[in-house]
Amino acid sequence: MEGMVKGYMIVATGRFIMGDAAIRARVSPALLDEIAKHEKTIKPSEWIGRPDQMVLWRAIAAGSDDATAYGDLVRCGESIADYASGTFLRLLLKMLTPGLFARKFPDLWAHDHRGGFIENDKIDAKGMQITIKDIEGFDHIGGVAPGFIRFALTAIGLKNIVTRSPNWSMTTPAPRDATIVVSWD
């Protein structure tokens, strides 16, 4: 079965693209029309095939080097998390510690994704490492997920959050497993 995502992710990504003049300028008029259509037709809780999401993430990353694409994708992930946090997530984040968030992240993933799963590789007082498993072909999740995590940890109250996705790059945008390393002060 093809992987799926909740519709809110596509809507939030479209809003991110439309709200960033530099990225919007790189996107084709046809895709901008599709984004406007998504805004009106996609319900936040409906399941949508991953290819619809990847078209948008590919457009964000297109024409960029690794550092620029990663930065833009992380900002997109933060935007998606911000959109989602208008509901249950904002309340949940106020009650979590970083360790509890890391332990809860697999459940958050399962709520919004069909296909793949999260493993917590390491959690300590100054950082965490998680791996999103079995997501080969899910272009750029290794750039977007760190932004979602950074938004959540900022909402918890952490400072100076640094994320890395060592096996993501523009030449390998969809590895089988995406490791995300996060540190903070």
Give the pLDDT of residue 89: 66
Residue 181 has pLDDT above 70, yes or no: yes
Percentage of residues of the chain with pLDDT beyond 70? 98
SS3 100: helix
Nearest to 133 by CA among 151, 113, 157, 117: 117
Across the range 49-70, mean pLDDT stands at: 96
pLDDT of 63 above 60? yes
3-class SS at 34? helix
> What average pLDDT does the structure give for the chain?
94
pLDDT given for residue 85 in this prediction? 83
Digit-coded pLDDT (tens) for 123-155:
999 999 999 999 999 999 999 999 999 999 999
Which segment of 52-61, 96-105, 108-117 scores lowest on mean pLDDT?
96-105
pTM reported for the whole predicted model: 0.94
Superfamily classification of domain 4-183? H-NOX domain (3.90.1520.10)
Is 87 a residue whose pLDDT tops 80? no
Residue 91 CB neighbour total at 10 angstroms: 9
Per 3-state DSSP, what percentage of the chain is helix, strand, and coil (rounded to 5)? Answer: 55, 15, 25
Q: How far apart are CA 99 and CA 97, in angstroms?
A: 5
Where are the domains positioned within the chain? Answer: 4-183
Please state the rounded mean pLDDT for residues 54-78.
96
Q: Is the pLDDT of residue 1 over 60?
A: no
